[in-house]
Structure 1
Amino acid sequence: MSAAQATSNKEIFRHFHEAVNSGDAEIISKTFDEVVAPDVLFHAPVPSEATGLQALKDVWAVLLRAFPDIHVAIEDLIAEGDKVVSRNTVTGTHLGEFRGLPPTGRSITYNEIFIVRLDGGRVVEIWGVVDTLSQLRQLGAIPA
């Protein structure tokens, strides 16, 4: 895989990332349709029984309801071969139900790392590690 391909994969990832930071469910859905394979393998906790692209859309529907101002800041973006790795800091205000918790109005900040594999200009596989312990502590669901 060439350096040009790694750069192209980073640009596709950035396009995906800009969509999620738009806060607009329609833009997110449209962009996911453009850059994510319908049968994407999604290796992360999913709040629904859905699979593939629908599972990814469901995750973002839950996040947007819970944290309408959610923002994902890329701290590191590394591309090699057919993979892009992103280390992120996520911020938001808890204004909607999340994991059974009623809105608290609390601001949260947590970290995550995602690895995406691309093929033919589309995301075909995603692995995610999200600091849910920090999320739940900040929301008061578990003791600090």
Structure 2
Amino acid sequence: MSTTRELHRAVYEAVPDRDFERLREIYHPDCSYTGGDGVEHRGVAAVLAVVETFTTAFPDLAIEIRHQHLPSQSVSIVEYVFAGTHRGDLEGIPPTGRRMEVVACSVVEVREGRIGWERDYYDTLALMEQLGVAGNRLDGNP
């Protein structure tokens, strides 16, 4: 049986590798995932669809864990950086060929030995700015 720490870290190994079988093992069948856009996805198939979208849009996706905190036996918080080159469609945004690097935070709760709940927090505007599809907040351009 994997620990909460190991399960959460395993996500960041499986996602860039597009290891969907491993992700099916990691996530509880009745899991809930909410991404940086605030949209909740229910069930393993929905989680895998999010991974498919991101890894298709960023085929060279890399994830680096910076910190991990375990406030309880069933909860893990990870600060991580995800980076990649936009080479595929991202929810209607055609490939820009631009690199992005975003700092994120993920909170998971483990239930019955699998991830049952996950919430990711990241700056979606910063991501869009790096892809060139949103104005830069610092230069005042729309």
What TM-score bracket applies, with the shorter chain setting the length? 0.7 to 0.9
Give me the whole-angstrom Cα distance separating, in 2, the residues matched to 1:138 and 1:50.
25
Aligned equivalent of 2:133: 141
Which of 121, 140, 143 matches 2:113?
A: 121
Aligned to 1:39: 30
Q: Deviation per CA, 1:23-64, whole angstroms, max 9, x where unpaired?
A: x3xx2x1112111101102233478x9622122111111111
Alignment of 1:52 with 2:43, yes or no, is: yes
Paired residue type of 1:17: Y
CA distance in 2, matches of 1:100, 1:59: 14
Change (3 A) 1:63 1:46: farther
Q: Choose between structure 1 and 2: higher helix proportion.
A: 1
**TM-score calculated relative to the size of structure 1:** 0.84
Aligned residues: 134
> Is 1:130 matched up with 2:122?
yes
Aligned residues: percent identity? 27
Moved segments of 4+, more than 6 Å: none
Partner of 1:105: 97
Matched residues in 2 for 1:63 and 1:102: separation?
13
Which structure 2 residue ranges, 5 or more long, are not aligned?
137-142
Residue 16 of structure 1 deviates from its aligned partner by 2.1
The answer to whether 1:18 aligns with 2:13 is: yes
Q: Which runs of 5+ in 1 are unaligned?
A: none
